[in-house]
Amino acid sequence: MAAVTAKQVLWYIPNQIGYMRVLTAVGSLFLMSKHPKWTTLIYGVSCLLDALDGTMARKYNQTSGFGAVLDMVTDRSTTSSLICFLCVLYPSWAPLFQLLVSLDLSSHYMHMYATLSSGGASHKKIEKEQWLLNLYYSRRSVLFTICAFNELFYLGLYLYGFPQLAHFQVLGLGSVHIGGFIALVCLPGYVFKQIANIVQLNRAAMMLATKDAQDASARQRMQ
């Protein structure tokens, strides 16, 4: 059997889906300021493809380190890009959005780095004692739902910045903007995601500090 080449890995089916995610996400950026409906559609396609690449990787046995990193980088980049535009729509809330971007990026980077530094095979392998992260990463249905709520919450805030879009009547609430309604419905899942980011950041910091302490102790014993 011939050896697998780097070029073949780059063109694995899930990685091709990843490239489509990048292209659709980039396309949405150029539409974001003036075409909210098209932006929502194209950005939504990019997010939906995120659920497909993992399925294809398992179906065709084409999992790869490159694919895992491509998936995470694309996730963080697309969400951060949307939040950047929210800073334009809601300048007074920019400091909060900046903190949320920083939390998202730092928690995922530190988590992956800590996992690799500790010899772990995947950042999604979480011990049961970390019940919240274990629930989040070990059950695909939970992971998909929470990530969908997170993206839809930001999309709802984005749409809310365009007053000309549809309003409808909601019992007890009166006239509600479609974007505000989406954000409100997705708020619980969004809050869960931010808490998971904080827990993930703390876990990664403890993993790195524990390894540093072990290395320091080993050096002391050798002196």
Give me the active site residues, please.
Answer: 75
Written as one string, the DSSP assignment of 108-144 is HHHHHHHHHHTT-S-TT---TTSHHHHHHHH-HHHHH
Cα 67-72-73 angle, rounded to 5 deg: 95
Of 191, 195, 193, 162, which Cα lies nearest the Cα of 179?
A: 162
Ramachandran angles phi, psi of 170, nearest 5°: -125, 130
**Reduced to 3 states, what is the DSSP secondary structure of residue 190?**
helix
